[in-house]
A and B are shown apart, each in its own frame.
Chain A
């Protein structure tokens, strides 16, 4: 190695080191001074930044907490935070399930060969993804549901679900016998595992002999038969509590309050428009040659869809759809506008106003969402790795 002919200040390594050192210094100094001023400002307002308020009793009511019990006068702030987080996750899960089904349905319509269906799906997508979600939430909640849904006496009936101006009444499963229920759950999980093993075996057999089995229908019927028969053999460890109309309101069952219902409805419609676009893009990404080749080797239509179109289009559909799931979770924070008690509403708004502990509260809220986001990118990376291996 000859000595570098450059003078020190022209040496790229030296310059990089200087630039980065300066950056580190600037960033840390900025953070430090921000922290100092913030703590000082808070103390000037009589607020000592410390997490001791977690154990104080929250002086406000949280109306909807299906997973943790809320009791005015005993529930502490930290529990309010957990309730908020769980409520966020609840609406996110409900929304993700519904938006996936609706989005795939619209996306398939969008790439069907029926002109009318295609156009209707296109109009649906263009209307709902080009309007602010907040506007849609408020529209459904205030202009439609609150204004037009009937009182409990004349609830709209969908099977065992009842929709009225107060919300959606749903059947709720109740565990009658917890030990037997756990046994039953174990049996169900075991049957699912068995069907996975079966699937593997069928795949190996297919690769070796070329004989295929209807894996999906066999494993589904296997799981369903096993779980239903185990359910009755164990003497029904789980019953369903169905809401019944009483004199003034419904008794029994569970209730999704109207804000949750509107939020879920709007999130589903908004996100499904984006998922539909992903589905359409995925289906159209399968090149025509693939379909022609599948036909020319004599695959039936259902075989072609199952073995050629779905595996290839899923690769394109799934990554952006997972990001949409994250968006949905973040968007659930708009619940504030209609009064659903999720984490931003009960924690970053009400609790913050009550305690003034801005630093800790905002940090915890952000950490929760960052955690969701990290989790999502973890799943995405895992998926991307998996499909990379199967690639040629």
Chain B
């Protein structure tokens, strides 16, 4: 090569024209590609400059956070009143009981921290022994939650479920809904694909019945009719009634999510397990479900997002969830008139959870897609 190098001098590659690489090209292509594109860009820039700076001024730069009563906010009306949220934060997050007993707030905080410690490793892809973690989360954790937050054991003072509120109640309702609905939903999904006509039609009727009715009607039914369904003397707490309604409702949606997973399993899997001499339950438990559930996790997470948002409906039947407490506090005499801040805070909390979960489910979905394509 070196021999020929004086003969054939290789001319170094010229760089592409400046307007086809780097940020210049990017801007040209993505913002000012054509006349209409340019117009759209300018319009959106204009709208952003019209609305975003005043909003930031209100929400961040001029906002009030100091002080403990409304006088600070009343003096400076040009900014948001986060003082209100700061003062009411315990009530918004934990509800009445823990606001009245501030020395007990460590209980819900501990419950949340333990939950996070169990959940975060589950979300991380490379954690070992995920199955056991998951089982701990859905079987042992509820027991832990009830004994720590509910109290009455180990000398912890009892807190009545009817006095739970805020984010704590929202969380409890959603968690109970998903944990109890999962086994029910799996059974229903199996029932819907069963070869027995009566089992199948009952499952279909059940699923379509709950899916066709709005949750608010079901909550009404749970709060008005549930006491009528049982002989007098059997009393349910309001929270428990809501939990029953939510579980029945959610099981139908979980069933549909699981059915999607079951449908995606190749028929060869069933046939192979039959050839090995497995019975129906052996096939289902050891071969079909582990694969089907893995595929249906994203849709289950999606139904869970919907449920998490829908738990706010319990405020209509008089439970003090996050939304209801936010509304009530913005109507209290101390903070009357600061509705926007209250709703924005509640909305932000809901949004963070739902957005996080939807990011997770989208990531899983992409991963499942690539797994399948590379298989």
Contact = CB atoms under 8 A, between A and B. Distances in A.
Contacts of A116: 30-31, 40-41, 44-45
Interface in B103-142: none
B354 A131 contact: yes
A139 B347 contact: yes
B208 A114 contact: no
Interface string A174-214: 00000000000000000000000000000000000000000
A240 interface: no
Contacts of B40: 112, 114, 116-117
B343 A135 contact: yes
Contacts, number: 157
Contacts of A19: 196, 199
B370 to A, nearest CB: 17
Interface in A347-367: 348-349, 352, 358-359, 362, 365-366
A147 B339 contact: yes
A127 B351 contact: yes
A373 B210 CA distance: 11
Nearest to B327: A138
Contacts of A249: none
Interface of A: 16, 19-20, 23-24, 27, 34, 37-38, 41-42, 44, 112-117, 120, 126-127, 130-136, 138-139, 142-144, 147, 330-331, 333-334, 336-337, 344, 348-349, 352, 358-359, 362, 365-366, 369-370, 372-374
Contacts of B310: 132
B343 A37 contact: no
A334 B220 contact: no
B316 A337 contact: yes
Contacts of B221: 362, 366
A115 B198 contact: no
B214 interface: yes
15 contacts: A34-B229, A41-B228, A116-B30, A116-B31, A131-B354, A134-B312, A134-B315, A134-B316, A135-B323, A139-B347, A344-B216, A366-B221, A369-B214, A370-B209, A370-B212
B202 interface: yes
B272 interface: no
Nearest to A139: B343
Given A20-B199, A38-B229, A135-B347, A130 B358 contact: yes
B232 A44 contact: yes
B31 A37 contact: no
Contacts of A114: 30-31, 33, 37, 40-41, 44
Given A34-B229, A143-B342, A334-B316, 9 more contacts: A37-B228, A44-B232, A112-B40, A113-B37, A115-B31, A127-B351, A336-B316, A370-B208, A370-B213
Contact of A135 (B197, B199, B227, B350): B350
Contact of A42 (B31, B212, B228): B228
B212 A348 contact: no
A334 B313 contact: yes
B346 interface: yes
B312 A344 contact: no
Given A114-B30, A334-B313, A142 B198 contact: no
Given A134-B312, A349-B220, A373 B355 contact: no
B346 A330 contact: no
A344 B229 contact: no
A134 to B, nearest CB: 5
Interface in B93-107: none
A16 B231 CA distance: 34
A286 B88 CA distance: 51
Contact of B220 (A20, A38, A127, A362): A362
Contacts of A130: 305, 309, 350-351, 354-355, 358
B211 interface: yes
A365 B208 CA distance: 15
Contacts of B323: 132, 134-135, 138
B173 to A, nearest CB: 12
A142 B214 contact: no
Contact of A369 (B217, B230, B340): B217
Contact of B202 (A23, A139, A330): A23
Contacts of A27: 202
A132 B354 CA distance: 9
Contacts of A372: 212
B10 interface: no
Nearest to B346: A135
A335 B213 CA distance: 15
B199 A369 contact: no
B196 A334 contact: no
Given A37-B229, A117-B40, A373 B212 contact: yes
A34 B229 CA distance: 5
B177 to A, nearest CB: 14
Interface in B299-333: 305, 309-310, 312-313, 315-316, 323, 327
A197 to B, nearest CB: 36
Contacts of A331: 214
Given A23-B202, A131-B309, A143-B339, A38 B351 contact: no
Contact of A366 (B217, B316, B355): B217
Contact of A37 (B33, B212, B231, B350): B231
Interface string B332-361: 000001011011101100110011001000
B72 interface: no
B7 interface: no
A21 to B, nearest CB: 8
Given A27-B202, A113-B37, A115-B30, A41 B217 contact: no
| 5 tightest Cβ-Cβ pairs between the two chains A and B | A373-B212, A115-B30, A143-B339, A130-B354, A330-B214
Given A113-B30, A132-B310, A362-B225, A373 B45 contact: no
Nearest to B26: A115
B196 A16 contact: yes
Contacts of B211: 373
B224 interface: yes
Interface in B47-81: 48
B228 A333 contact: no
Nearest to B208: A373
Of A24, A41, A331, A372, the most chain B CB neighbours within 10 A belong to A41
Nearest to B217: A365
Contacts of A139: 339-340, 343-344, 347
A144 B195 CA distance: 54
A330 to B, nearest CB: 4
A279 B88 CA distance: 41
Contact of A362 (B202, B224, B337, B350): B224
A147 B336 CA distance: 12
